[in-house]
Amino acid sequence: MSKPTLILVYETEAACRQRLKADGFAEQHALEISYYLAQSTDLAPEFPDIERTCAARGISFLPVELDDAPTVLAGRPAATTLVWTLTDGIAYFRGGAAPALARLNGLPTLGADDSLFALCQDKFRSGAVLSVLGLPTPPAGLARDGEWLVRPPASAAGWFVKPNRLGAKIGIWPDSHCGDLDHALALSRRVHDAYRDAVVVQPYVEGRNVRASFLGVRPDAGPEALGIFFVDSGTDFQTMDDSMALYGDTGAAAIAEGRYTEPELIAVADSQPEAAVHIRSIAAMLMCALGLRDVFSMDFRVETDNTVHLIEFEICPGLPCFDFRSYCRSRWGMSLAEAMAQTAASRFER
């Protein structure tokens, strides 16, 4: 039997940017969109370290660019192959094709099945599913280019406006927390003009930002293995500029020029244990009802009275980002490369 092989499939910033420019996106907007794939840029220098840590566990490591994946995955033996999708996407990005390609070739995947790649990348549909499950996610309206598709509910605290399919939970601009629905519609026009996307419009919720990260380093890892941290950056929410300071070349430049300081991570359980318990129960529900497994993250807002708001979940979290590295160190006592290799080994054991 051939040696167990972990195949890490990823889309590059350059490939995405070239495609977007060919499709008529402005240079700056193509740069902003493709930035979301910068985790593949940041992780690439660590491929030799991942290869070494995998080899120590009897596993071969094979990083594969997305465009080469159809050829590489075809005909591989299912018993000794595991496919890990690093970069996702169903609209601007194409990473969601990787788990589907694995299924087409009868290969097992690390992470959620391919149906969840489509769900979590569409915030409006994802929120509807989370709401049906009875989870505490803010209700949402949907607007496209100045027109309401679904009107949002009333909100005394104003509304938060974010792209429906682009990237994470960011608001793009500082005025994404707005006080009237005419402003929300104006923002929907700006988002459509720049990124050709609809916007989700949700009642603004108070609280501190919380990131909950999970990696199934051990075969029996469950919600207790979640790392739950306040992410205190000094701002209420992340804008496009803030987000671009996290990864890749733009992030490195921001740090070098003193324009960015890593947010502080503080364990939620240290000051609000009740909220941490609630978050673990939400993770348990998502693992059971939706099939989250192996690797994922969730974003919350937590109020001082322990009220928890589930904002969204991700099945391709930013592995090389500071928060996920910190989680690997604090929860598992491992570097990112070691944690990735051990997670693959655990899956092969199963």
- On whether both 232 and 285 belong to a single domain, the answer is yes
As a whole number of angstroms, the longest Cα–Cα distance in the chain is 63
pLDDT digits (tens, 9 = 90+) for 115-131: 899 898 899 999 999 99
As for how many domains the chain has, the answer is 3
pLDDT digits (tens, 9 = 90+) for 62-108: 999 999 999 999 999 999 999 999 998 888 999 999 999 999 999 99
- On whether both 164 and 261 belong to a single domain, the answer is no
Contact 248, 13 (CB under 8 A): yes
Q: What beta strand segments (E) does 11-119 contain?
A: 60-65, 81-85, 109-110
Return all residues near 21 (Cβ < 8 A) that are at least 6 apart: 27, 30
Q: Of 203, 223, 250, at which residue does a domain stop?
A: 203
Q: What's at 303, amino acid-wise?
A: E
Token representation of residue 221: 């890892």
The per-residue pLDDT for 254 is 54
Burial of residue 48 (number of CB atoms within 10 Å: 0-12, 13-18, 19+)? exposed
- On whether both 231 and 336 belong to a single domain, the answer is yes
Q: How far apart are CA 124 and CA 291, in angstroms?
A: 19
Q: What beta strand segments (E) does 19-90 contain?
A: 60-65, 81-85
**3-class secondary-structure state, position 139:** coil
Q: What beta strand segments (E) does the chain contain?
A: 5-10, 60-65, 81-85, 109-110, 141-144, 147-150, 159-163, 177-178, 199-203, 208-215, 227-232, 264-267, 295-302, 308-314
- Could you give the C-alpha distances from 245 to 88, 249, 258, 259, 277, in angstroms and in order? 20, 9, 11, 8, 31
The per-residue pLDDT for 256 is 59
The per-residue pLDDT for 166 is 84
The per-residue pLDDT for 91 is 85
- On whether both 186 and 216 belong to a single domain, the answer is no
- On whether both 240 and 321 belong to a single domain, the answer is yes
CATH number at residue 334: 3.30.470.20
Which residues in 253-272 are b (16+ Cβ under 10 Å) and which e?
A: ebeeeeebeebebeebeeeb
Contact 122, 44 (CB under 8 A): no
In a domain, 43, yes or no: yes
In a domain, 184, yes or no: yes
In a domain, 125, yes or no: no
- On whether both 279 and 327 belong to a single domain, the answer is yes
- On whether both 106 and 164 belong to a single domain, the answer is no
In a domain, 102, yes or no: yes
Q: Of 156, 180, 203, at which residue does a domain stop?
A: 203
In a domain, 119, yes or no: no
Q: How far apart are CA 257 and CA 45, in angstroms?
A: 22
CB atoms within 10 A of CB 12: 18
- On whether both 185 and 295 belong to a single domain, the answer is no
In a domain, 123, yes or no: no
Q: How far apart are CA 49 and CA 38, in angstroms?
A: 19
Give the chain's length.
350
Answer left, alpha or beta for residue 158, where phi above 0 means left and psi between -120 and 50 means alpha.
Answer: left
- On whether both 177 and 294 belong to a single domain, the answer is no
Q: Of 166, 187, 203, at which residue does a domain stop?
A: 203
Q: How far apart are CA 309 and CA 305, in angstroms?
A: 12
The per-residue pLDDT for 189 is 97
* pLDDT tens across the length of the chain (350 residues): 689 999 999 999 999 999 999 999 999 999 989 988 999 999 999 999 999 999 999 999 999 999 999 999 999 999 999 999 999 888 899 999 999 999 999 999 999 988 899 898 899 999 999 999 999 999 999 999 999 999 999 999 999 999 999 865 555 778 889 999 999 999 999 999 999 999 999 999 999 999 999 999 999 999 999 999 999 866 655 655 666 555 555 555 555 566 557 788 999 999 999 999 999 999 999 999 999 999 999 999 999 999 999 999 999 999 999 999 999 999 999 999 999 999 999 999 87
DSSP codes of every residue in 170-224: --SSGGGEESSHHHHHHHHHHHHHHH---EEEEE---SEEEEEEEE--STT--GG
- On whether both 174 and 235 belong to a single domain, the answer is no
User: Structure pTM?
Assistant: 0.92
In a domain, 162, yes or no: yes
- On whether both 236 and 187 belong to a single domain, the answer is no
- On whether both 236 and 341 belong to a single domain, the answer is yes
Phi, psi of 45 (to 5 degrees): -65, -15
In a domain, 122, yes or no: no
Answer left, alpha or beta for residue 106, where phi above 0 means left and psi between -120 and 50 means alpha.
Answer: left
DSSP codes of every residue in 256-275: HTT---PPEEEEHHHH-HHH
Token representation of residue 1: 């039997």
Domain that holds residue 250: 208-349
